[in-house]
Amino acid sequence: MVWNILLLVIGFFGLIKGADLFVDGSSSLAKIFKVPGVIIGLTIVAMGTSAPELAVSTSAALSGSNEIALSNVLGSNIFNLLVVLGGCAIICKVPVDQVILKRDFPVMLIVTLAILLGTSMGTLTTGGFTQVAVSAEVGSVSRVLGLALMVAFVIYLVVLIADAKKNPVQEEEEIKAMPGWKCVLYILFGLVLIVAGGKATVEAAKYIAKAAGMSETIIGLTVVAIGTSLPELATSIVAAKKGEVGMAVGNAVGSCIFNAMLILGISSSIHPFPVNAASVYDMLILFAVSLLTYIFAVAGKSIKRWEGIAMVLMYVADVAFAILREVG
């Protein structure tokens, strides 16, 4: 137990330090190529910090651990929206870029709804899943849906790159960018620390959680999801403190899109898996959370401190609900 607590501390250090280097390298890279920080956040940073989710879900799919593969994605996205964005808003008011409001938030909502309907349409229309145990199978994530999600992600990525090239930003002269080789070094070394720190944190947390008697479903939705999302949390909070709020929001929203499209797409393409009633509840919660976050962002073109506090409290309530649901 002592070793696992020490491993947890080391993992957190790796996440924070790695996030610091990663943000510095990525923001400097954005200046070199005259690309908005929000685009870097939606692509390089989002993909890099989602590496733990990709590793966990792919490994889970290969080993047949279907509950972990799906609950990791759902739990991570709920955490990204409520805790990552909410945590940044608590630190300081977070302006939301108009491009994210018009393009990326709607994409996230549409994809989340598509996954919900694509995996459990029949059950939702009949209301049947309310009559069965949370562990009962009520739908599935098919290989066709997985391939469709991956194709959609490629299209989305092409649109992002095209927009970045069409609308380059002028480099601010008073801010000197690091040399290209140094940016790459910072990004790669930061990514190594992030992934290693995330893995160490998850492994230690899983051991501690199992020692406390938690089930695999709850571990996937909470401990594994939180652990693999710590890079997004660390990176976005560091970015917010450095004034890179566009990158902070872009990282959180981009990670949600990356998780839903590519990670779930790859996992289900490797091994299609069933969806139980508990996961349908979580998909409904994720869609509601996505919609609420979008409303907060649109209302004042920013996420305010009180909204951030409310979002974090909602996450605590969601975790409590998940635990009570399983106990019941």
Most confident of the ranges 1-10, 112-121, 190-199: 112-121
Q: Taking each helix axis from N to C terminus, what angle separates 180-211 and 2-32, rounded to the nearest 10 degrees?
A: 150
Residue 166 has pLDDT above 70, yes or no: yes
278 belongs to a structural domain: yes
Q: Which amino acid, residue 284?
A: L
More confident residue, 249 or 281: 281
Q: What is the DSSP letter of 45?
A: I
1 belongs to a structural domain: no
Residue owning tokens 């199978």: 137
pTM for this model (two decimals): 0.78
Residue 171 is predicted with a pLDDT of 46
In terms of Cα–Cα distance, which of 227, 219, 280, 216 is closest to 55? Answer: 227
Residue 217 has pLDDT above 80, yes or no: no
- Give the count of domains, the chain: 1
Most confident of the ranges 12-26, 117-131, 180-194: 180-194
* Local confidence band at 233 (pLDDT 50, 70, 90 cut-offs): confident
Tokens encoding 268 = 């289900």
317 belongs to a structural domain: yes
- What is the distance between the alpha carbons of residues 234 and 3, in angstroms, rounded to a whole number? 23
- What is the distance between the alpha carbons of residues 240 and 252, in angstroms, rounded to a whole number? 12
Residue 259 has pLDDT above 80, yes or no: yes
- What is the distance between the alpha carbons of residues 79 and 140, in angstroms, rounded to a whole number? 23
- What is the distance between the alpha carbons of residues 309 and 50, in angstroms, rounded to a whole number? 24
80 belongs to a structural domain: yes
- What is the distance between the alpha carbons of residues 57 and 137, in angstroms, rounded to a whole number? 19
pLDDT in tens, 67-82: 677 888 899 899 999 9
Residue 271 is predicted with a pLDDT of 81
Mean pLDDT of the chain, nearest integer = 79
177 belongs to a structural domain: no
Strands (E), the chain: 94-95, 137-141, 273-276, 302-303
- What is the distance between the alpha carbons of residues 232 and 248, in angstroms, rounded to a whole number? 9
Q: What is the DSSP letter of 244?
A: -
Q: What is the DSSP letter of 58?
A: H
Residue owning tokens 């089930």: 215
25 belongs to a structural domain: no
Residue 268 has pLDDT above 80, yes or no: yes
In terms of Cα–Cα distance, which of 291, 304, 250 is closest to 100? Answer: 250
Residue 220 has pLDDT above 80, yes or no: no
19 belongs to a structural domain: no
226 belongs to a structural domain: yes
In terms of Cα–Cα distance, which of 240, 276, 294, 274 is closest to 109? Answer: 294
More confident residue, 110 or 1: 110
Q: Taking each helix axis from N to C terminus, what angle separates 66-79 and 277-300, rounded to the nearest 10 degrees?
A: 20
Residues 220-231: what's their mean pLDDT? 77
Domain span holding position 107: 39-168+214-327
Q: CATH code at 261?
A: 1.20.1420.30
- What is the distance between the alpha carbons of residues 307 and 63, in angstroms, rounded to a whole number? 40
Residue 310 is predicted with a pLDDT of 96
Residues 267-279: what's their mean pLDDT? 82
Residue 281 is predicted with a pLDDT of 86
Q: Give the C-alpha distances (Å, rounded to integers) separating 106 from 46, 181, 257, 267, 273.
A: 17, 36, 10, 24, 27
